[in-house]
Amino acid sequence: MSPARCEKRALSPPRRKIPRKCKRGRTVGAVAPNGAAPWMEFPWASLDGDIIRLVAEHALAGDVADYLRLRAVCRHWRSSTVSPRGRSVVDPRFHPRRWILFPESHGLFPGHRKLHGRVRFFNVSTGAFARLLLPLFPDHFVIDSVDGLLLLQRDRDSAIRILHPFTGDIVEFSSLETLRPQVEPFFTSTELAYMRAMERKEMGIFSYFNRICAALSFGPDGVITIMFVVTRVQRVAFATSADQQWTLSNWQTNLSWKYMAFQGKIYAASIWVNFSPNRIFVIDPPRVEANGSASSFSLPEPKLVATCPVEKLFGFAYLVNCESEVLLIGHTDRSYSQAVVYRLADIILGRFIPLTRFGDYTIFMDERSLCVSSKAVPGIADGSLIYRHHGKFLAQYHVRSGTLSTAAEGRIEEGYRLAPYSLIHHLFACCLMTFGKSPGYAVLPCLVPA
């Protein structure tokens, strides 16, 4: 060792270790009276509990991930705030609404051996990524996602489970096998043979459903109600966390409807046919008994809440949850070159006022919709709509200027589903109702930045 290096070590004061039980914050620009480092003079663990709870409330109102980070600072902060463990699914305050399960490319799906049990989540407000270890996926697969909560089907018994990805909390539901006697009469023998073959490929009874739209409602007593549209049989299935079986609605939906879950209800927009007006329906959750069961009641039939004339909205209509408002989006004529955006609340009142702004958001639309902050998607102007134009390419329509342009390079072809190659393609894949353990899976939480 050189003399210079020895002298430097001798003159340097010994490094003081900080107790691991609590990190201490830095006070920028402050000078400690005793000459010690300023950040050593303010122990964060001594903060008053009321102040900690106030800060925690603000963090939780923004993002549950920030709340979890706050509680991880030290033992005092954890004891001063409410633990989400055991209640993060049943209490909507702890739902990760800003996060979506990010669809990977190159045929990778949650549970794929190359992912080593890890999956990525994307924050639709900030564009941040979180990579989480979720060991459930080797024997589960995602069938849908609501408010950032994952709806999983277990392989061995087709039981439905709701998973909070950031806390690991799980709520159990009965097996979808209880629906088999109710749905099989709707299929031909050939269809049943095909779906039973799919069951052997670890799809389970979910191969009977494949494309669903689920909604969750939460009771004050901790009972959760799930209802989801079974598009193949044009019915709605429902159950609560206290039920021993699933029940199918005794009325039909329509193959021409597009669905969106919002605040525990399912909204449906009829697809334009033969110049008929677009109609909007709402499906309310079932009544729940005092013991938490809903199997004794029938599901309320869809209610017609609004009608949109052809001269106001032409062709396909998209339902979008944006800033806790339901928007109805479509086109003005058969050229599909001009889009129009309405608030559903205005249409219900008979007012058709086109919106030119809807915050700093970008809306992705296809089989379903996704609202993302423009800050999270570089290169896309706020107030834009991203959709498939004539089935050939991804178009970007800027509502305020009325201009139509290409959102991403490349044509949309069959192979596109297997390997999206840009962030825009990945987010658009969230709007495709393809689920399960397959290379083309896509997952869409029915969420919007709060």
Identify the pLDDT of residue 29: 41
Q: Which of 222, 225, 245 is nearest to 287 (CA)?
A: 225
Separation of alpha carbons 348 and 279, rounded Å: 11
Identify the pLDDT of residue 410: 66
Inter-helix orientation angle 64-71/49-62, to 10°: 150
Separation of alpha carbons 67 and 64, rounded Å: 5
Separation of alpha carbons 322 and 341, rounded Å: 11
What's the length of the chain?
A: 450
CA 238, 122, 207, 140 torsion: positive or negative? negative
Separation of alpha carbons 318 and 331, rounded Å: 10
Tokens read off for 444: 């869409």
Identify the pLDDT of residue 140: 87
Sorted by sequence, the CB contacts under 8 Å of residue 29 that are 6+ apart come out as: none
| 359 within 8 A of 371, measured Cβ to Cβ | no
Separation of alpha carbons 336 and 339, rounded Å: 7
Identify the pLDDT of residue 370: 93
Alpha helices in 72-210 (DSSP H): 75-80, 180-183, 189-198
Identify the pLDDT of residue 4: 42
3-state secondary structure of 22: strand
List per-block mean pLDDT (blocks of 10 residues) for the chain, which spans 450 residues: 41 45 44 49 74 92 92 89 93 94 79 83 94 88 90 89 95 92 85 75 60 89 92 90 93 88 93 76 92 85 92 87 91 85 94 91 91 90 88 86 84 49 84 60 36
Instruction: Provide the pairing of β-strand 445-446 with 140-146.
Output: parallel
Q: What is the amino acid identity at position 367?
A: E
Identify the pLDDT of residue 272: 64
